[in-house]
Amino acid sequence: MATENKSKPNNPNKTDKKRKQYLPHNRPVKKGKYALCPGVQGFFITCDGGREHQASNEAINVIDSFYEDLVNGTETTSEQAELSKKPLNKVIKFTYSDSSSSDDDDNDDHHEDESNVRPKEEENKHAIATGTDVNNENLIKEESGHQKEDGISSEKQAHENKEKTDDQEVIAIESAAAKKQRTENDASKCRDLSNKLEKKSVDRLIEDELAELGDRSKRRFSSLDSGCNGVVFVQMRKRDGDPCPKDIVQHMMTSLASTRKHVSRFLLRVLPIEITCYASDEEIRRAIKPVIEQFFPIETQNPLKFAVLYDARANTGVDRTKIIDAVAKSVPSAHKVDLSNPDVSIVVQIVKTICLIGIVEKYKELAKYNVRELTSSK
């Protein structure tokens, strides 16, 4: 009975299959499919711990929206509003203004003729009543002449009124024809658009869009795994004519500071990164040269005051003073160091073995580029 109660040994073949299925067998474990590496540029973003995935998706949407605003030039809406308030010196002329003015002039002439004729008629009637010698034939001729003139003037006025109505009818016909032409053009455009959509089925459009989203090389913004808790990096593939990360983040922070509109739930600090390299003073001196040449010219009449903002994560083997000295000595001597009130700040963020370098303006005035503090109600 004791032997029956004993548990049977497990089959070794099954355990081997499980191990082969789940263990890597001398292969390195990949912590992130797309890891942060030297030679990229983008945005260094901090977020709440454990919310890296949500923060990366949210950061891509927010950065893309501000990128579109900057490229399309929607920040000039305030200037356009000011221009719209100014009065425009326009003369509004209606289609029937000329005809009406001519009719008024003709009516004025007709009234003047009547005013000249009426005194003569009154004089003749007064002479007949008083018995004075007046030639009846002349009176009859004059009265018949006046009647003819009155008939001619009435015919002239009727003819002018008829011309006016004819002009109005012509204008109405022309406007109706133009409206009909516009409707026909709109209908033809709608038919062309419907034909194009019919040629490409809905399934085909969805497949094309999914293929474009699936290819990371075609995306302008994509997330990279930083390997640190609470840190997200969004890579930017800069194309011809695109603004640099500094311009995008500067536009974002100034817009948020003026509007105080909540745009994110998980994002904390957003910093632009121009270059990335390995975290050593020699590599930093070599990689920072193009950034210094772009933002700190050697010969300038307006020298800048700058400061170095250093921070390190998951790396205790790097000497802070060596990194700061390597960055500060790379700046030309015309520009001076000012830690209290700098014009430009050089951001140095070390994440594990990677060093990220960027340029920011008005760092303290814009709440150290913290999105949550900029949009919070004071």
Distance, in Å, from the CA atom of 55 to the CA atom of 263, rounded to the nearest integer, reads: 12
Please answer whether residues 338 and 347 qualify as being in contact, where contact means their C-beta atoms are separated by less than 8 angstroms. no
Q: What is the rounded CA–CA span in Å between residue 151 and residue 295?
A: 89
Structure tokens at 186: 């709109």
Residues of the chain whose pLDDT is less than 50? 1-3, 18-20, 23-24, 29-30, 75-91, 94, 97-102, 110-112, 117, 127-129, 131-137, 139-141
State the pLDDT at residue 187: 74
Query: Which pLDDT does position 145 carry in this prediction?
Result: 54
Per-residue confidence (pLDDT) for residue 215, from 0 to 100: 61
pLDDT at position 100 is 46
Q: Give the angle subtended at the CA of 212 by the CAs of 207 and 213, to the nearest 5°.
A: 100
Looking at residue 156, its pLDDT comes to: 63
**DSSP secondary structure letters along 241-277:** TPPPHHHHHHHHHHHHHHH-----SSEEEEEEE-EEE
Question: What pLDDT shows up at residue 16?
Answer: 53
Q: What are the helix and strand counts (H, E) for the chain? A: 12, 9
Sign (positive or negative) of CA dihedral 44, 49, 52, 54: negative
State the DSSP string of 81-130.
HHHHHSPP------TTHHHHHHHHHHHHHHHHHHHHHHHHHHHHHHHHHH
Tokens representing residue 57 in the block:
């998706």
Angle subtended by helix axes 97-130 and 136-199, to nearest 10? 170
DSSP lists the bridge partners of residue 313 as 351
Residue 193's pLDDT is: 64
Task: Check if the beta carbon of residue 235 is closer than 8 Å to that of residue 223.
Answer: yes
Q: Residue 77 — φ and ψ, nearest 5°?
A: -65, -30
Residue 243: what are its φ and ψ, rounded to 5°? Answer: -70, 155
Q: What is the pTM of this model?
A: 0.58
Long-range contacts of 336-343 (CB under 8 A, 24+ apart): 336/303, 336/304, 336/305, 336/306, 337/305, 337/306, 337/307, 338/305, 338/306, 338/307, 339/307, 341/305, 342/305, 342/306, 342/307, 343/304, 343/305, 343/306
Q: So what's the pLDDT on residue 251?
A: 95
User: What pLDDT does 196 receive?
Assistant: 61
Nearest in space to 359 (alpha carbons), one of 375, 343, 336 = 343
Place of tokens 């009065």: 87
- Cα-flanking dihedrals φ and ψ of residue 350, to 5°? -105, 120
Per-residue confidence (pLDDT) for residue 124, from 0 to 100: 52
Number of Cβ atoms within 10 Å of the Cβ of 287: 19
User: Mapping DSSP to helix (H, G, I), strand (E, B) and coil, where does residue 375 land?
Assistant: helix
Tell me, what's the pLDDT at 195?
65
Q: Name the residue with tokens 């890296």.
A: 52
